[in-house]
Amino acid sequence: MKAILIGFMGSGKTTVGKLLAKQLRLPHIDLDDQITVVAGTAIKDIFSQHGEHYFRQLEHEVLLDTISQDGVLSTGGGTPVQAENLKALKKAEIPVILLEAAADTILERVSGDSQRPLVNSLNKTDLVSLKKHRQPQYHACADLTIKTDGSSPEEIVTQILNYLD
């Protein structure tokens, strides 16, 4: 991978990842999409039929399979939180970009999204606490952190390209 995007749900990983890949003329790989292909079912159905633990196992396997491919990788919000994934992300020595957004921005972007199984059960307090809980792992592997509130995807991609240069 040329770059890996990490960050909480709704921080813009997929939107920015697609645009960054386009600018770099590289394939964009979305980890959740790959998991969906491997499992043959939507993420929400993996969670409801097999549980989060099974999803995390698949997520780990797919991360290891994709990390050495060429392209830009958008991970899931929980990917770096698993110790073995964090280890793999650090070991790969690929630029890891953390996209940050305020809780209100995230709530606005993801509320009512039926495809995100963890969203339905989260109110603002839970979201803030889950986000806070994940910060250490996010920062443990991030080479660059970008605040996305109020910036367009194009502006964020410009910042990433400047960093990669």
Positions touching ligand S3P (CB under 6 A) are 9, 13, 32, 43, 76-78, 116-118
DSSP H or E segment with residue 30:
strand 28-30
Cα dist from 30 to 4, 5, 77, 128, 156, whole Å? 10, 10, 12, 25, 18
Exposed, middle or buried by CB within 10 Å (0-12, 13-18, 19+), for 120?
exposed
Residue with Cβ nearer ligand S3P (71 or 77): 77
Residue with Cβ nearer ligand S3P (32 or 100): 32
Helix, coil or strand: residue 134: helix
Residue 7 marked as a ligand binder: no
Residue 74 marked as a ligand binder: no
CB of 63 to ligand S3P, least distance (A): 11
Residue with Cβ nearer ligand S3P (30 or 93): 30
Residue 14 marked as a ligand binder: yes
